[in-house]
Structure 1
Amino acid sequence: MENFDHVVAGTDGAGCTVRHLRCEACGDPLPYGARLCPRCGPARLAWAPGSGKGVLRSYVIYHRSYDPDMPAPYAVSIVELDEGPRLLARLEMPDRGSPAPGMRVTAELKNGCLVFRPDDKG
């Protein structure tokens, strides 16, 4: 499992699994970057399983490479997981044209990095 601070991603043999932090007291998912539950404060947190599916909310295309493993241009997105939390991750659009906010996406691990791609089923 790879730990991305707010989410944990790994493979379960059937594809990429994504777990996220959730408050055990109220059940709410933690917002991106939060260390405490906005509703309960310093309540107990736990990793919750997720589907690895979500909706593209926003994205930006970088035209300059800041990492040799990520040649420009590349897209970084904000994805809202079906379970509630939003997170930042790379977006890949293989032969699909331009990304569109509202489109369904699915997570995968690529070279140890969490990446979202368009969901073939939605």
Structure 2
Amino acid sequence: MVKPQPTPETAPYWEGARQGELRVQRCGACGRHYFYPRPACRYCFSQEVHWVTVSGRARLVSYVINQRPMPGLEGLSPVVALVELDEGPRLMTNIVGVEPTPENLPLDLRLQVCFQDDVPVFQPEGVTA
């Protein structure tokens, strides 16, 4: 699997992943969580932002089951998904721990973060990948 290369803006996210934590930014001014990393809050534009560890619980918003080979990404699940964290932000990820069929992936499916090779992915709650 090709490993993402951290940038100064994303380093805390990847360091958290290495420690088994899902981290996103939270605004100290308006209190909202957001993702993707940026130097100012996407809601109120405050620069009073910091990284926090979130629950890792989410719901499935949308997905696609990839039927084509992904060179360099052979270890990843064919399910590419948009999930919404309980704290609010949405992020793109892979779904693991479930057979990739529409019957197994109802929208609003409850998910929990897990880590594969220090990369956050999600699995249905109660499943161990």
TM-score of the aligned structures, taking structure 2 as reference length: 0.72
Does residue 120 of structure 2 align to residue 114 of structure 1?
Answer: yes
Q: For residue 20 of structure 1, what is the aligned residue in structure 2?
A: 24
Larger strand proportion of the pair: 1
Identity %: 28
Q: Is residue 98–residue 104 contact of structure 2 (8 Å, CA) maintained in 1?
A: no
C-alpha displacement of 1:11 = 6.2
2:84 to 65, 80, 83: 80
After superposition, the Cα gap between the structure-2 partners of 1:65 and 1:103, relative to the gap in structure 1 and judged at 3 Å, is same
Q: For residue 70 of structure 1, what is the aligned residue in structure 2?
A: 74
Q: Which consecutive residues of structure 1, in runs of 5 or more, have no partner in the other structure?
A: none
C-alpha displacement of 1:94 = 2.7
C-alpha displacement of 1:34 = 6.1
Q: Is residue 65–residue 73 contact of structure 1 (8 Å, CA) maintained in 2?
A: no
Q: Is residue 106–residue 119 contact of structure 1 (8 Å, CA) maintained in 2?
A: yes
Write out aligned runs for 1:19-98 (5 A).
19-30=23-34, 32-33=35-36, 35=38, 36-70=40-74, 74-95=78-99, 98=104
Number of residue pairs matched?
116
Q: For residue 105 of structure 2, what is the aligned residue in structure 1?
A: 99
Q: Is residue 65–residue 72 contact of structure 1 (8 Å, CA) maintained in 2?
A: no
Larger helix proportion of the pair: 2
Q: Which consecutive residues of structure 2, in runs of 5 or more, have no partner in the other structure?
A: none
C-alpha displacement of 1:73 = 7.0
Distance in 2, matches of 1:70 and 1:42, equals: 40
